[in-house]
Amino acid sequence: MPLFAPTALFRRVTYITPEYLRAHGIRALILDVDNTLTAHGSQELPPEVEAWLGQMRAAGVRLVIASNNMPRRVAPFAKRVGLDYQAFCCKPSPFGLRRARRSMGVPRGAVALVGDQIFTDSLGANLYGIPMLMVEPMAEDIKPTIRLKRMLEKPILARYDKKGGPRYGWDAEQNENAERTGK
Ligand SMILES: [Mg+2]
C-alpha cells in the first residue's frame, strides 16, 4: 500500500531532528496543525513544540502550516506560532501542498510533510511525491469520523511495521520489536 504508507514514524514532532532532515535532503517542512503541533482544535502551543520550532528555524529549515481546517481555526494559531499558513488545503489533494511548498520558494525535492493522519496527510504527501514524516496524534481523538479513520489506519501501520519502517522516539524495546517483525 505504498500510496498510504508514511516515510518515517515519529513519536512526536520533537523527535524530528535537523540531522535527520539534513541526511534526507529536506530543507523545508509543511506542517499539519491538528494533533501534530497541538491538540485538535486547540490554540495552545506546547512549550516543547515551541522549542522544536525554534530548533528548526535555527537550523535554517523553512516552515509553513498547511491545514484542511478553516482560516478562523488556523490563522490565530499560525500567528501565535509566527508562521505563514495555508488553510482549506483539501489534503489528500496535492494542490494545497503545492501552494504551501511554493509559498516557501523551495523545490519539491527539498520538502517533506509532517502530519498525523494516513488518509489526509500521508496519502496527500505520496500523491504529491514528497516524504511523509508521520507523528503520533498528540491527543485522543474526539471526533467519531477521525476515530473511524484511526481504525482504518491500523492495518496500514501494521504493514509498515512488518516491513521494518523506521520509528523514532519509541523506547529501545519497541524499536527492537519493530525491527524484529520487519525481518
Ligand atoms: Mg492532523
pLDDT digits (tens, 9 = 90+) for 100-154: 999 999 999 999 999 999 999 999 999 999 999 999 998 887 788 888 889 999 9
CA 183 / ligand 1 centre spacing (Å)? 31
CA 22 / ligand 1 centre spacing (Å)? 24
Q: Does 183 score more than 50 pLDDT?
A: no
Structure confidence at residue 142 (pLDDT)? 78
CA 66 / ligand 1 centre spacing (Å)? 10
pLDDT digits (tens, 9 = 90+) for 69-87: 999 999 999 999 999 999 9
Say whether domain 8-140 belongs to CATH 3.30.559.10.
Answer: no
Calpha distance 73→24 (Å, rounded): 32
Structure confidence at residue 146 (pLDDT)? 84
Domain boundaries, the chain: 8-140
pTM: 0.90
CA 121 / ligand 1 centre spacing (Å)? 8
Structure confidence at residue 85 (pLDDT)? 96
Which residue in 123, 141, 142 sits closest to 132, CA to CA?
Answer: 123
pLDDT digits (tens, 9 = 90+) for 2-51: 899 999 999 999 999 999 999 999 999 999 999 999 998 888 999 999 99
Q: Residues 142, 40: contact at Cβ < 8 Å?
A: yes
The residues pairing with 112 across neighbouring beta strands, listed in sequence order, are 29
Structure confidence at residue 2 (pLDDT)? 82
pLDDT digits (tens, 9 = 90+) for 143-180: 888 888 899 999 999 999 999 999 999 875 555 555 55
CA 103 / ligand 1 centre spacing (Å)? 20
Which of the four pLDDT bands, split at 50, 70 and 90, describes residue 1?
A: low
CA 174 / ligand 1 centre spacing (Å)? 24
Is the Cα dihedral 80, 86, 90, 96 positive or negative? negative
Q: Residues 150, 141: contact at Cβ < 8 Å?
A: yes
